Amino acid sequence: MRYSLTFALGFLINVSFAQVTTTHPLSSYGIGETNTGSNAITSALGNVNSVWIDSTNVNFFNPSSYSRLSKGNTLMSLGIESRFSFYEQQGVSEFRTATLIDHFSLAFKTTKRSGLAFGLKPYASMGYEFSQSLFTGLDSIRYTYSGNGNIQDAFLGFGFAPIATKRSHLSIGVNAAYLFGFVTNERRSELITGDSGQGGLSSDITRLSAFHYQLAAHFEQTIAERHSLLIGFTLDPAQNFNSTLENSLYTSANINSPSIFDTIFSLNSEGSIRALTSYEIGFKYKYYLKETKRKTTTRRPNITFAASYKSNQGVVSSYEGSEAWSVGASSALCFGMSYSPETRLFENVATLKMLEKLNYRIGYFQRMLPFSSNGISYTDRGTTFGIGIPILAQMSLSSLNLAFVLGQKGTGQEADIEEQYIGFKFGVVFSPSNFEKWFRKRKLD
């Protein structure tokens, strides 16, 4: 059963990563919209990725978290994302949707102080289409601009804790990854008078194939009996990625029939894409509330606050014989809060009511995007919320996690495109039960 499930999940991932993952026209810049990074857990917490570290979550955005995994509990994480976007510009509106499986990861403890994880997650994606029609005096011409594709990040990470005591924990980690994939920008022109369909097509395909790494660290200290503080940090140093750019121009008597295209020219250029330094720093404060007595049990609730700041210096390109492009800097502020009615779920599972087993999450984020119009920057802000549902039937660390976001992206100017969106993420963490340990070490007497 386990192997069949793993095979099915792998198949779904291969299929789903070919889907459109964004629908915003701004994704036409560079290699597309960079993945802001979150799973269903941190999405519900305003995307505070660098500091949400515990033994029940595969936090592949901070590899130092791998040392915090529970001994003997392998975690397999899978996420599905859907987005419903409402666009409006100068009285014209449109509705778009996008759905994909956004990540797959597997993590487990290797020694008492270290852990390992590997998987696949998105790095950047492109997906848009819009058009306009012009009357030239004799004919009408429709111009259609579209783009699609994505860059994937296949990673292998390791985390080690040089300090691991009951009150203090210091951990460092690294993700080594291989980036691969392509994004395509197309501009199509077509005569829309008559039945000929005559037109032309300009295509730019950027292919990326390169290694990539990320560094991270976190430190957690128990301040008092009911208080703990965690500080986390992730760093993506400036790196050059090998890339090729294919520029092609075609003409055709029927632009909707690629088999009869005539190639005017096609040029392949070798070059590189340089991702400038990006980092995230944040903190997580956890407070264990006062116990509440019942007839036969005691409740031990806790509440957690988290916040982080993200900075990305941008991306630039360099190609021989082709025009270079650049994407500027961006930043984000993220806030999250979580409430758990019971800290010791396994000890009291038999006496807990359904709502007392859940984990409740809420958050807020605001991003300054690297684009502007008339000197006014585009911003992306949203309110998030969600729940975590532990699967306690077999006393395992498995869980279902739901996240929702209500967001808005734009400049606030009527002349610019505004996006109102509703996002949904579903995440599942699989873990073996106490009587079915994966990767169990066996001994022969």
Q: What are the pLDDT digits (tens) for 88-110?
A: 887 778 888 887 777 889 999 99
Domain contains 147 = yes
Q: How many CA within 13 A on the CB side of residue 130?
A: 16
What would the mean pLDDT of 104-121 be, rounded to a whole number? Answer: 92
Domain contains 444 = no
Q: Which domain holds residue 322?
A: 2-74+100-430
Cα separation, 312 vs 237, in Å, equals 10
Residue 439: per-residue pLDDT: 52
Residue 16: per-residue pLDDT: 41
Predicted model pTM? 0.86
Q: Are 241 and 231 in contact (CB under 8 A)?
A: no
Residue 348: per-residue pLDDT: 74
Number of domains observed in the structure of the chain? 1
Q: Which residue has the higher pLDDT, 205 or 29?
A: 205
Q: Are 343 and 225 in contact (CB under 8 A)?
A: no
Residue 431: per-residue pLDDT: 84
Asked if pLDDT for residue 179 goes beyond 90, the answer is: yes
CATH for 385: 2.40.160
Cα dihedral 232, 368, 239, 102 sign = positive
What would the mean pLDDT of 428-441 be, rounded to a whole number? Answer: 66
- The confidence band for 64, taking pLDDT boundaries of 50, 70 and 90, is very high
Cα separation, 286 vs 273, in Å, equals 41
Q: Which residue has the higher pLDDT, 108 or 2?
A: 108
What would the mean pLDDT of 241-247 be, rounded to a whole number? Answer: 91
* Number of residues in the chain: 445
Domain contains 439 = no
Residue 30: per-residue pLDDT: 85
What would the mean pLDDT of 216-226 be, rounded to a whole number? Answer: 93
Of all helices (H) and strands (E), which one includes residue 407? strand 399-410
Cα separation, 119 vs 68, in Å, equals 18
Domain contains 90 = no
**Whole-Å CA distances, 240 to 79, 184, 271, 292:** 29, 20, 10, 56
Domain contains 92 = no
- The confidence band for 22, taking pLDDT boundaries of 50, 70 and 90, is low
User: Judging by beta carbons within 10 Å of its beta carbon (0-12, 13-18, 19+), is residue 420 exposed, middle or buried?
Assistant: middle
Domain contains 441 = no
User: Judging by beta carbons within 10 Å of its beta carbon (0-12, 13-18, 19+), is residue 177 exposed, middle or buried?
Assistant: buried
| 266-283 pLDDT per residue, tens | 888 889 999 999 999 999
Asked if pLDDT for residue 119 goes beyond 70, the answer is: yes
Q: Which residue has the higher pLDDT, 91 or 118?
A: 118
Q: Helices (DSSP H) in 26-66: which residue ranges?
A: 40-43
Give CA 115 to chain center in angstroms: 22
| Torsion angle defined by CA atoms of residues 281, 17, 378 and 325, in that order, rounded to the nearest 10 degrees | 90
Q: Are 334 and 44 in contact (CB under 8 A)?
A: no
Range 266-290 burial, b when 16+ CB lie within 10 A, else e: eeeeebbbbbbebbbbbbbebebee
Which residue, 224, 17, 23, is CA-closest to 123? Answer: 17
Among the ranges given (136-140, 291-295, 369-373), the one the predictor scored with the smallest mean pLDDT: 136-140
Cα separation, 52 vs 283, in Å, equals 9
Domain contains 127 = yes
Residue 191: per-residue pLDDT: 81
Cα separation, 117 vs 206, in Å, equals 29
Q: Report the percentage of the chain scoring pLDDT > 70.
A: 88
List Cβ neighbours of 434 (8 Å cut-off, separation of 6 or more).
Answer: 394, 395, 396
